[in-house]
C-alpha cells in the first residue's frame, strides 16, 4: 500500500499553488481521524513526493508546518513521528493560519490498536460521533445502578470531597488511578545519600524557623530546573516553595479572593480534585470546552472569567497539547487582563520529543505557574513551586507564612541536592523510558481487550483517557472494576457538562502485566455477562 | 516523706463511712493540681493504708474507682500509674471538696536569681507589684526613638506580619530569640538511621498520595507519646498530623469561622505571632489578663468570647503554670459552651518536676489540642498534631486535605520511628538537662548584668520573660541590642494592652557563654552611656 493510499490522499483536490497547505491539512486530518496514531511514522519526504507527483519541497514544507503546530516531530533517522492526535476539528479562529480541519463526521480508527481521537468540542461532550469501532456496538455490560456495596458512597454522584481518599483506601489488586509516577522507582539510595550529605553540612540555625518562601538552595535549584526543562527564565526570588500544587492553588485562591475574584474558568473536562479545591475556596468554575487544539479561547472569553486554570502542556485528562494558534489567542486574552494559572503537572513526561515550553516562559506577568515533584519523584514528598506575577508575590508569601511558616527544610535541601547533582534529571530520563513502555503496553491491551474504547492524547504524561460508546455508565463501570480488584477513575468525575462516558487510566505506576490484567477485566465488564 | 504527706492527705477530713470516696477524690485533686503528674506512680496500697491508718481495702477501692474513671491504671509490678489528670471539680460546684487556691496577691521574687512570678493581673500590665529586685531602678539608658537604620522597619510599631522573618534574617552574633530548642543537638545520626530503616521498609504505595490525616504509624506514635508525656488518652484516629502549630491554628480558624466564630480570646501577654495569625484569619483577639495563677477566667468570661487560645502548661511569655483552681474555673467555662484551643508549645520542657497534664486530658470534647516537634527536635521539621473535639474532626480533615493533601510521608515515618524506638524520649531527657543548665546560666547573668530586670516564670520551657522598670522602651532596647549583635524580642510585641516593658529571652539555643555575653550587652544598654 502506498503512503498516499494509506493517508487517503488525492492530489487532484489540492488547490493550485497551495499544495503544501493542502498536504499539511490532509495529514492533520488523518492524524485527527486516527489513521495516523500518535507514535506512528510519516512517510519519508522523498517517498511521499514521488507518490503524489509533487516536488520534495512541497512535502518538506508541509512537514515543517506540522512540526510547528506540535503535531509531528523529526527524529533523525527514525523519521518524522506523529506526536499528538488533535481532538478532531478545531474551531476556526479568525486568524487561524490554516484551512479548517477535517469534516466533523463520525470517524473510525483505522486499526483496533490505534489511539483515536474524540469528537469535536471537548472530546467527550458530544452525543454523536464515535461509536463502537469494531463490529456493531455492544450493549453496555455494566449496570447503571450505583456501585456495589461498600463502594456506593465512593461512587456517589456527585463525588464528595473525600472521594480520592476513599478510592485510595479501597483495597484493590491493580491500581490504575491516574496521577502517579512509577513509585517503585523512587530513588531511595540517592535520596538517603543526599540526605546524609545535607545533614552533614547543616549549621544549627538551619534547623530553626526558615524563610517561608523556601530554602535558598531549593529556590535556586528549581529556578535552574525550570530554565532547562520548561523554558522559564526565573530568578530564585520569584520561586515560592509550597507543599504541592494543592497548596499552590489554595494560596492563590486566598489571594485572588481578596482581590474580588469569584470565578476561575476550568477546562472541561479537567481534574475533579482541582474543581473541588476551587469550590472549597469559594470560587465558581465556569467550564470551557477543550478541542483538538486545546482549550477553546473563544469560549473562555465568553465566560467573562478573569482567571483561568489551564493544563497547556498536557491537558488533563484529554492529553491534548495546546497548539501554537491557541497559545497566541490565550496570550491575547491574558494581555487583555486575564490571569492564567498554569498547572504544569506532568509536563516533563513527554515521550516523543522535548515538551512544549510553559506559558510562563513568555507570559511572565500573566501566568501563575505551579509545578511539583509529585510526578517526578513522589506525591508523598509534598513539595512544589509557585511562580506568580510580581503583583501577587508579597501576598502569597504572607499566605504561605500563615499557612505553615514554610515547607520543612530537610526535604527541600535533599531535593535541591538531587537537582543540582543531576540525580533528578537521571531519574526523569529513567522514568520516561519506563513510562513509555508502560503506555505502549496499555494501549496494546486496550486494543486487545476493550475494542469499544477510543484512546486519546499525546505521547506524554502518566495516564490515558479512553472514551466509550454512549450509553455506558462509567461510574458504574469503575465501581464494578473496583469489585473485581481494579481501581480506575470514571471520566464523568472530571467533567462538568454531560459528556461521553470514559475512563482515566494511569499506566505509569503499574507493571505492563498488571495493566494488561486490569484492562482485560475492564474489557470483560464492558462486554457484559457472557 | 510519707506518701500521704506528698499527697497532702489528712484522713481526719474524711467523712465517716466514706473513706474510699474521700481518698479517691483527694487523689483526683492531687492529680488535677499537678502534685501527681501523668506517668507518676501511686503509693503501694499497703504503704498508703498504713500511713493513713485505714484498711488496705479502702485504698484498693479508691484505686479501683480511679481506674474506672480512666485516671490511673495498674501496671503489674510497676504499680499503679497516673494516666490523665482530671480537672477536679469546678470551684463553683456545690460539692467542691477543697479549699480555694493561693491568695491572689502581688508577688515579688524571693531571690534575685530565682525565677519569679508576674504580678497580679497580667504580670506586665500593672503599675504596682514587681519593681527592680536589686538596688534602685536606673534611668533608662535606651533612647525612645525607633531603631537604628536598617532595623527601623523591623521594630516598627505595630510590628508587621513579616517581622519574625526580618528578625531572623537580620545578622547577629548572638540569637536570644525565644521559641527555639538547642538546635545544635538535633540528633542527625539517629534521624539518618531512622530514615534508612524507614526507606528500606516502604512499599511503593507509601510514596503516593496518603491519608490527609497523616500516616497511621505517626498517629499511633503521637497517641502513645501524648499518653505518656501529657496524660492524654487519645485514639490514633483522633490525631491529625499538621505542618506545625501554625497550620493547626489556620485550620481551626477556617472551621471556626465557618461556624460563625469571629473572636478568639487570647491571654495578654501572648505570642505576637499567634495574634497576627488570628487576625490574618479574620478573627478578633480580645485580651485576657494573666496573673500568678494563670489566665484570669473571670476576665475571659467577661469578654463573651466562645473560644479561647491558651498556653496552660507554661504561659507564653510569662512562664506561669495554670494552677488547679483556675483549671477548675476554666473547666466550668468550657462546660458552659466554651472551646479551649490549648497551645501546648513547650510543655515537655519542665526542669523541676514532670509537667502538669494537658487540659485536653480531662476536657476532651472542650479542647482543641495543638502540639509539635518544633521544641522537641526542630522547627524546621514542620510537624505537629491537632486533637480536636469530635464535632470538628471531619471539617478539619477536609481543611487539611485542601490545604496540602496531608503532610509529607517520609519525615512523618522517621519521626514515628524516633518516637517508638525511644530516641525522642532520650533526646528530650538530654535537652532538659542542657536547657536547665542554660536557664540557670542566663538567670545568673541577668542578676549580674541586668539588676533592673525581674525574671518571671516556672522552671520550664525555652525562654525567660524579664520585665523592666517603667519608662524603658523595650522596642528601642531590642533595636539597640540588634545593632550590637544581639537578637531579642521586646515584651511589648507580645502584649495587647499597654504594660510593663520587658524582654523575652530564649536561652535554649545559645551556649551559656553566648547568653552571658548577650545579657551583658543588654545590661550595658540599659545602664546607658558610661
Q: Residue B291 falls within a domain, yes or no? A: no
Helical ranges in B173-243 per DSSP H: 188-201, 216-230
From chain B, pick out residues whose CB is under 8 angstroms from the CB of A180. Answer: 208-209
CA-nearest residue to A166 within chain B is B211
By three-state DSSP, how is residue A54 classified? coil
By three-state DSSP, how is residue A429 classified? helix
CA-nearest residue to B180 within chain A is A208
Q: Residue A314 falls within a domain, yes or no? A: no
Interface test with B, best of A408, A489, A508, A509 (most B CBs within 10 A): A408
Shortest Cα distance from B530 to chain A (angstroms)? 34
Give residue-wise pLDDT tens across range B371-430: 999 999 999 999 999 999 999 999 999 999 999 999 999 999 999 999 999 999 999 999
Are the Cβ atoms of A381 and B410 closer than 8 angstroms? yes
Which of B207, B280, B403 comes nearest A378 by C-beta? Answer: B207
Q: Over 90: is that where the pLDDT of A31 sits?
A: no
Q: Which of B64-68, B305-309, B405-409 has the lowest mean pLDDT?
A: B64-68
CA-nearest residue to A199 within chain B is B188
From chain A, pick out residues whose CB is under 8 angstroms from the CB of B402. Answer: 161, 246, 250, 276-277, 280-281
Q: Residue B383 falls within a domain, yes or no? A: no
Beta strands in A435-525 (DSSP E): 454-456, 463-467, 486-487, 489-490, 502-506
Q: Residue A238 falls within a domain, yes or no? A: no
CA atoms B442, B443, B447, B448: torsion sign: negative
Mean pLDDT, rounded, for A119-136: 32
CA nearest B450: which of B393, B528, B397, B520? Answer: B520
Q: Over 90: is that where the pLDDT of B363 sits?
A: yes
Round to whole Å and give the CA distance between B240 and B214. Answer: 6
Q: How far apart are the first and last CA of chain B?
A: 53
Number of Cβ within a 10 Å radius of residue A96? 15
DSSP sequence for A83-105: -----SPPPPPTT-SS---S---
Which of B191, B398, B404 comes nearest A246 by C-beta? Answer: B404
Q: Over 50: is that where the pLDDT of B279 sits?
A: yes
CA-nearest residue to A161 within chain B is B398
Which residue is listed with cell 504503704? B47
Which of B180, B188, B247 comes nearest A403 by C-beta? Answer: B247
By three-state DSSP, how is residue A372 classified? strand
From chain A, pick out residues whose CB is under 8 angstroms from the CB of B380. Answer: 206-210, 408-410
From chain B, pick out residues whose CB is under 8 angstroms from the CB of A204. Answer: 182-184, 186, 509
Q: Over 80: is that where the pLDDT of A121 sits?
A: no
Are the Cβ atoms of A405 and B379 closer than 8 angstroms? yes
Q: Over 70: is that where the pLDDT of A7 sits?
A: no
Give residue-wise pLDDT tens across range B3-35: 555 566 777 777 777 888 888 888 877 766 656
Under a CB-based contact definition with an 8 Å cutoff, are residues B29 and B97 in contact? yes
CA atoms A468, A473, A479, A480: torsion sign: negative
Are the Cβ atoms of A162 and B211 closer than 8 angstroms? no
Round to whole Å and give the CA distance between B3 and A382. Answer: 52
Are the Cβ atoms of B191 and A199 closer than 8 angstroms? yes
Under a CB-based contact definition with an 8 Å cutoff, are residues A471 and A528 in contact? no
Are the Cβ atoms of A380 and B411 closer than 8 angstroms? no
Phi/psi region, residue A3 (left: phi>0; alpha: psi -120 to 50; beta: rest), is alpha
Shortest Cα distance from A224 to chain B (angstroms)? 24
Which of A165, A184, A195 comes nearest B195 by C-beta? Answer: A195
Q: Residue B156 falls within a domain, yes or no? A: yes
List the beta bridge partners of residue A456.
Answer: A465
Shortest Cα distance from B505 to chain A (angstroms)? 16
Interface test with B, best of A188, A208, A413 (most B CBs within 10 A): A208
What dihedral angle (degrees, nearest 10) is formed by the CA atoms of B54, B57, B61, B66? 60
Round to whole Å and give the CA distance between A282 and A206. Answer: 37
CA nearest A406: which of A182, A247, A253? Answer: A247
Shortest Cα distance from B210 to chain A (angstroms)? 7
Q: Residue B397 falls within a domain, yes or no? A: no
Q: Over 50: is that where the pLDDT of B345 sits?
A: yes
Q: Over 60: is that where the pLDDT of B183 sits?
A: yes
CA nearest B487: which of B515, B448, B528, B453? Answer: B515
Give the pLDDT band (50/70/90) at residue A98: very low
Are the Cβ atoms of A209 and B380 closer than 8 angstroms? yes
| Predicted local distance difference test score (pLDDT) of residue A65 | 79
Q: Residue B353 falls within a domain, yes or no? A: no
| Predicted local distance difference test score (pLDDT) of residue B79 | 74
Which of A175, A195, A408 comes nearest B380 by C-beta? Answer: A408
Are the Cβ atoms of A405 and B168 closer than 8 angstroms? no
Look at chain A and count its residues: 530
From chain A, pick out residues whose CB is under 8 angstroms from the CB of B378. Answer: 207-208
Q: Residue A189 falls within a domain, yes or no? A: no
- How many pairs of residues across A and B have Cβ atoms under 8 Å apart? 182
Tell me what ipTM this predicted complex has: 0.76
CA nearest B446: which of B504, B523, B506? Answer: B523
Are the Cβ atoms of B162 and A401 closer than 8 angstroms? yes
Give the pLDDT band (50/70/90) at residue A510: very high
Interface test with B, best of A190, A345, A374, A402 (most B CBs within 10 A): A402
Shortest Cα distance from B419 to chain A (angstroms)? 19
Which is more confidently placed, A480 or B26?
A480
Domain boundary among A82, A110, A128: A82
Mean pLDDT, rounded, for B58-74: 77
Are the Cβ atoms of A410 and B380 closer than 8 angstroms? yes
B73's enclosing H/E stretch is strand B72-74
CA-nearest residue to A169 within chain B is B211
CA-nearest residue to B402 within chain A is A277
Q: Over 50: is that where the pLDDT of B434 sits?
A: yes
Shortest Cα distance from B244 to chain A (angstroms)? 7
Please tell me the total count of domains within chain A.
2
Domain boundary among A24, A49, A82: A82
Which of B168, B188, B208 comes nearest A380 by C-beta? Answer: B208
Let me know if B393 is exposed, middle or buried by CB neighbors in 10 A (0-12, 13-18, 19+): middle
Domain boundary among B82, B106, B122: B82
Sequence-ordered list of residues with C-beta below 8 angstroms from that of A141, at least 6 positions apart, any chain:
A525, A526, A527, A528, A529
User: Which domain range does residue A179 map to?
Assistant: 148-184+426-526
Distances (CA, A) of B179 to A208, B170, B306, B317, B504: 9, 17, 28, 10, 10
Shortest Cα distance from B121 to chain A (angstroms)? 30
Round to whole Å and give the CA distance between A510 and B419. Answer: 34
Are the Cβ atoms of A204 and B186 closer than 8 angstroms? yes
Interface test with A, best of B173, B207, B251 (most A CBs within 10 A): B207
Cell output for B425: 524520649
Shortest Cα distance from A240 to chain B (angstroms)? 15
| Predicted local distance difference test score (pLDDT) of residue A44 | 85
Shortest Cα distance from B181 to chain A (angstroms)? 9
Give residue-wise pLDDT tens across range A201-256: 999 999 999 999 999 999 999 999 999 999 999 999 999 999 999 999 999 999 99
Are the Cβ atoms of A208 and B183 closer than 8 angstroms? yes
| Predicted local distance difference test score (pLDDT) of residue B30 | 73
From chain B, pick out residues whose CB is under 8 angstroms from the CB of A377. Answer: 207
Which of A195, A244, A410 comes nearest B405 by C-beta? Answer: A244
The enclosing domain of B59 has a CATH number of 1.10.10.10
Under a CB-based contact definition with an 8 Å cutoff, are residues A351 and A72 in contact? no
Are the Cβ atoms of A195 and B200 closer than 8 angstroms? no
| Predicted local distance difference test score (pLDDT) of residue A117 | 40
Q: Which of A353-367, A400-414, B363-377 has the lowest mean pLDDT?
A: A353-367
* A157 lies in the same domain as A78: no
| Predicted local distance difference test score (pLDDT) of residue B120 | 40
Shortest Cα distance from A101 to chain B (angstroms)? 41
Round to whole Å and give the CA distance between A38 and A426. Answer: 25
Are the Cβ atoms of A208 and B405 closer than 8 angstroms? no
Averaged pLDDT of chain B? 84
Round to whole Å and give the CA distance between A371 and A347. Answer: 9
Which of A381, A401, A409 comes nearest B380 by C-beta? Answer: A409
CA nearest B258: which of B80, B395, B138? Answer: B395
The enclosing domain of A462 has a CATH number of 3.90.1150.10
* B74 lies in the same domain as B164: no
Q: Over 80: is that where the pLDDT of A268 sits?
A: yes
Are the Cβ atoms of B208 and A168 closer than 8 angstroms? yes
Round to whole Å and give the CA distance between B417 and B325. Answer: 39
Amino acid at each position: 500500500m502506498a503512503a498516499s493510499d494509506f493517508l487517503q490522499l488525492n492530489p487532484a483536490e489540492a488547490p493550485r499553488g497551495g499544495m503544501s497547505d493542502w498536504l499539511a491539512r490532509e495529514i492533520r486530518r488523518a492524524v485527527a481521524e486516527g489513521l495516523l496514531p500518535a507514535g506512528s511514522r510519516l512517510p519519508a519526504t522523498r517517498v511521499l513526493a514521488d507518490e503524489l507527483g509533487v516536488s520534495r519541497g512541497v512535502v518538506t514544507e508541509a512537514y515543517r508546518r506540522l512540526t510547528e503546530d506540535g503535531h509531528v516531530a523529526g527524529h533523525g533517522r527514525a523519521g518524522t513521528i506523529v506526536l499528538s492526535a488533535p481532538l478532531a476539528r478545531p474551531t476556526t479562529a479568525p486568524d487561524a493560519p490554516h484551512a479548517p480541519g477535517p469534516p466533523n463526521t463520525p470517524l473510525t480508527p483505522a486499526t483496533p490498536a490505534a489511539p483515536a481521537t474524540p469528537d469535536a468540542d471537548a472530546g467527550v461532550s458530544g452525543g454523536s460521533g464515535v461509536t463502537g469501532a469494531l463490529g456493531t456496538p455492544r450493549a453496555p455490560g455494566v449496570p447503571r445502578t450505583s456501585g456495589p456495596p461498600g463502594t456506593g458512597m465512593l461512587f456517589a454522584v456527585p463525588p464528595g470531597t473525600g472521594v480520592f481518599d476513599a478510592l485510595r483506601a479501597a483495597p484493590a489488586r491493580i491500581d490504575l488511578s491516574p496521577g502517579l509516577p512509577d513509585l517503585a522507582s523512587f530513588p531511595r539510595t540517592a535520596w538517603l545519600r543526599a540526605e546524609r550529605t545535607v545533614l552533614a553540612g547543616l549549621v544549627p540555625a538551619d534547623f530553626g524557623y526558615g524563610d517561608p518562601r523556601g530554602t535558598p538552595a531549593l529556590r535556586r535549584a528549581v529556578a535552574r530546573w525550570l530554565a532547562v526543562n520548561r523554558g522559564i527564565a526565573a530568578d530564585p526570588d520569584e520561586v515560592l516553595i509550597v507543599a504541592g500544587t494543592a497548596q499552590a492553588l489554595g494560596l492563590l485562591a486566598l489571594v485572588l479572593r481578596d482581590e474580588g475574584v469569584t470565578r476561575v474558568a476550568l477546562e472541561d473536562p479537567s481534574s475533579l480534585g482541582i474543581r473541588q479545591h476551587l469550590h472549597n475556596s469559594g470560587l465558581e468554575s465556569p467550564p470551557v470546552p477543550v478541542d483538538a487544539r486545546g482549550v477553546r479561547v473563544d469560549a473562555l472569553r465568553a465566560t467573562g472569567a478573569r482567571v483561568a486554570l489551564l493544563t497547556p502542556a498536557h491537558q488533563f485528562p484529554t492529553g491534548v497539547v495546546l497548539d501554537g494558534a491557541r497559545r497566541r489567542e490565550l496570550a491575547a486574552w491574558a494581555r487583555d487582563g486575564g490571569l492564567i494559572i498554569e498547572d504544569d503537572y506532568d509536563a516533563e513526561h513527554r515521550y516523543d520529543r522535548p515538551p512544549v515550553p510553559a506559558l510562563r516562559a513568555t507570559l511572565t506577568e500573566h501566568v501563575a505557574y505551579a509545578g511539583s515533584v509529585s510526578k517526578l519523584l513522589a506525591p508523598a514528598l509534598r513539595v512544589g513551586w509557585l511562580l506568580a506575577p510580581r503583583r501577587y508575590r508579597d501576598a502569597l508569601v504572607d499566605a504561605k507564612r500563615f499557612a505553615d511558616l514554610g515547607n520543612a527544610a530537610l526535604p527541600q535541601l535533599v531535593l535541591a541536592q538531587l537537582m543540582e547533582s543531576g540525580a533528578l534529571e537521571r531519574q526523569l530520563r529513567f522514568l520516561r523510558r519506563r513510562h513509555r513502555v508502560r503506555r505502549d503496553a496499555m494501549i496494546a491491551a486496550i486494543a486487545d481487550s476493550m475494542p469499544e474504547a477510543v484512546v486519546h492524547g499525546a505521547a506524554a504524561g502518566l495516564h490515558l483517557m479512553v472514551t466509550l460508546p454512549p450509553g455506558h455508565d462509567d461510574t458504574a463501570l469503575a465501581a464494578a472494576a473496583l469489585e473485581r480488584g481494579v481501581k480506575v477513575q470514571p471520566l464523568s468525575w472530571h467533567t462538568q457538562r454531560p459528556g461521553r462516558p470514559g475512563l482515566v487510566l494511569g499506566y505509569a505506576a503499574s507493571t505492563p502485566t498488571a495493566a494488561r490484567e486490569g484492562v482485560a477485566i475492564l474489557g470483560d465488564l464492558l462486554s457484559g455477562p457472557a
